[in-house]
Chain A
Amino acid sequence: MKSEATIFERSRTNRAAGAQVPEAGSLADIPSRFLRESAPLLPEVSELQAIRHYTNLSHQNFAIDRNFYPLGSCTMKYNPRGTHRAASQPGFLNRHPLTPVGVSQGTLECLFELQEILTIVTGMDAVSLAPMAGAQGELAGLLMIRAYHQSRGDEDRDEIIVPTAAHGTNPATATMCGYKATEIRVGADGDVDLDHLRQLVGPKTAGIMLTNPSTCAVFERQIVEMSQIVHDAGGLLYYDGANLNAILGKVCPGDMGFDVLHLNLHKTFATPHGGGGPGAGPVAVNGRLVPFLPIPIVGQRNGQFEWFGEEEIPKTIGTLSAFMGNVGILIRALAYSMMLGRNGMNRVADFATLNANYLAMELERAGFKLAYPTRKATHEFLITLDEEAKQFGVRAMDFAKRLLDFDIHAPTTYFPLLVPECFLIEPTETETKEQLDEFVKAMMQIRAEAETDPRMLTEAPHHQFKKRLDEVKAARELDLVWKPDSD
C-alpha cells in the first residue's frame, strides 16, 4: 500500500510558507560562540504542502470521530465539540499563566467550579486540579499518603499493595514514590482475595491502590471489608479513577472508604485523548489528607477567587508542573459537566452499564465466553478467546487486527494478564444499540473465518493503510529519526 513520504522528503531548499515568515531581526550583538553553525533539519515546504501532508496523515488514523472504539479501561466516549469550542476562546487561550488573579477571575471561577463538582461526585472533602494526567494524580496521591504517615511520625511504612491485575501505572508510581509494590491475589470470581489481604497488611503497609470496578471489570463487592482491614492496619486506600465512568452519579469512592483518588478527565469527563494526551488527573481527598494537597488550588477570599499556595497549605506536597496543570483540559471538563448537570451525570453510569451488559449478553449468546460469567458487567467486561485460540490456532491479537478491517478499533487485548487471550470491552454510554449489534456481527463473522480460513485473522488487517508491522525489527534495528540518506 502507498506510503506517505515524510515531510522532509517534500522539502526543497529555500522554499517556505511565505505568509508565516516574520521579518528577521538582527543577531549581530550575540557573540558567535553562542550561535549554531549549521541549520537544523526543519521542513522547507509551502503552507499547502504542509496542510496536505498532515491532512493525508490524519486519514490514516482511527479515532472516536470515525470509529467505534470499545477500548476497555480507556473510556473512549464522544468528546463533545462544544467543550473544545468553549476552551478555545481567546480569553482562555491567550491567558499567560503569570497573569494576576485580579484580571483572571473568569478562568479562576471555572477552576473553582470544577473543584466543587469533582468534590461532590467523588464524595470527598477537597480537590486539587494540579495533576496533568492520571499517572501524575497517582503520584500526587501516594506522595500525600507518604506525607500523612510522616506527619504522624509513622516512618516505617514502605509498602504499597496493588492487585496482580492492576494498571501498570500503579506499581510504577509506587516505585517513583520510593515505595515497594507488593501484589495481592485476585480470586476466581474477580474479587480480591481477602485472606491474602489480611496476611499482607501490617505495620509496613502505607496503603493500597485499587480500581473499583476493578481491572477485571467487576465491582469489587468486598470493598467495605477491605477498607476496614487496611485502615485497621494503619494504611490508607487509594482509588484509581480509571473506571469511574461505571459509577458516576451512583456511588462515590468517598463512601466506599477511599482516602484519596484521581480522576481521569480524559476518560470520565470526555476530554479528547489527542492520540495519547493531554489528560488531566485531579486528585480528591478526605479530611485527613487535605493539608497535603498539591498546589495551586483555587480558593475564595473577600469575594474574589485566589490561588492558594504554600502560604495557605503549608504542608502541601508541592507543585507538579511549572504552572497550574492542564488548564485547557480542565475548562473542557467543566463545559462537559455543565451540559450534563446532575441529571446527566446520573445517566452516564446507567447507560454505560446498560451498553456493556447488553453487549456482554449478546456476545455470550453468539457463543463467546465471558471471563466472569456469574458476574454482572460494569461499564466494561472481559471475554476470553482461549477456546478459539486452542481450536483454530488464532490468538486474541489476531481477532483484534481483523476487527480493524471492519472499521472497529480493537478492544484492549491481553489486559489483565491473568485472563488468557482476553478482550476488555468498554462500549461507553455514547454508542447506539445498532453499533453494538454491528460489533457482535463482526465478531461472529471473524470467528467463522477463524474456523474456515484462519489466515484471514493471522494476516489481518487486510484493508488498512498498513499490514501488520514488524515490531521486532523496529526494536532490533532502531530507526527513531529520519536522516537524509535513510531512504
Chain B
Amino acid sequence: MVVNTEVNIGVLKLNNPVLVASGTFGYGDECKEMVELHKLGGIVTKSLSLNPRIGNPPPRIVETTGGMLNSIGLANIGVKKFIQDKLPFLKSIGTSVIVNIAASSVDEYCMVLSLLEEQEGIDGYEINISCPNVKDGGLSFGTNLSITVEITKRLRSLTTKPLIIKLTPNVTKISDFARAASDEGADAVAVINTLVGLAVDIRTRKPKLSTITGGLSGPAIKPVALAKVYEIARSVKISIIGIGGIMTAEDAIEFMLVGASAVQVGTANFIDPSTAVKVADGIVLYCTQNKIDSVQKLTGAMQY
C-alpha cells in the first residue's frame, strides 16, 4: 500500500509531517554531511532577530534526567546575514523552509518579517513568543494574552504566508493563547516550547546554568506536551504542530493521535541528527501495518 505522507498546515503543504524544531538544527547546512535533508518534512530555522545576538554566558547546557536544560539566549546571526549566507542553501534542499522569528518588541518582529517577505523560497514563519532564556520579549510576550493578540494581528497583516505561533507551556491555560492566535488569523500553533527548569550543583551550591533557570526539553517533557496538544485540539480548529521530547515514530504518532497535524523533532537532533528522517519513515511503516492510506488520518484519531 502506498501511504500518502502529505499534510497541510493551513495553506502550507508539507511532504511529510516531521519537521526539525527551531534551535535544534541550526540553519540546515551544519547537518548536510550527515542527514538526507530532502527527506525532512521541513526545516524550522534557528530563531532570527533583527540584529545578531551573542547569546548567554556559559554554562548554557546541562543534562537532566531524561532531558536537558538549555539557556542559549537566542544566539543567532541576525536576519540580514541569514538572507545573505543561509537562505540560498535552505532553498536548494527541496524541503519546506519555515523561518523562526524572535524579537524584543512587536516592531522588531514586524521588521524581521518584512525583510523576509522580500525573499523567495520561504514557505512560512514560526513566531517565537516563548523563549524562556532572554530578558526582553520571550516569555514575557508568550505569557501575556494581549501581546500575543497584538503580535499575531500585526504579523498577519504583513504576510499571506503560513503563520505559526509557537506557544509556551509556562502559562495557566495554554488553550487561551491558542485561541487568541487562531482568532487573529494564525494558520497554526506550535506546541510546546521548553518548560522553565532549574538544576543545582550541590558541591558548589551554584545553579548549573549561568542564567539560573533554563528551558527543559527532551523525552522528560513529552507527556506534558501531549496534554497541551490535547487541550488545544479540543479548543481551536487551526492546525497544531506537536513538539516535545519526540525521539521515535511512536512518540510522533502519539502527538498526531491527540490532535497534531505535524510534529517537530528537537532535542533528539543533538543526539542523532537523522532522527526526523527516521521518525517520518516510522510513521509510514505504522500506517502501512495498520492499513492507513494517509498520515493525515492519524490526526485526532485517539480513541476515547
| A associates with B | no
Interface residues in chain A, defined as those with a beta carbon under 8 Å from any beta carbon in chain B:
none
Interface residues in chain B, defined as those with a beta carbon under 8 Å from any beta carbon in chain A:
none
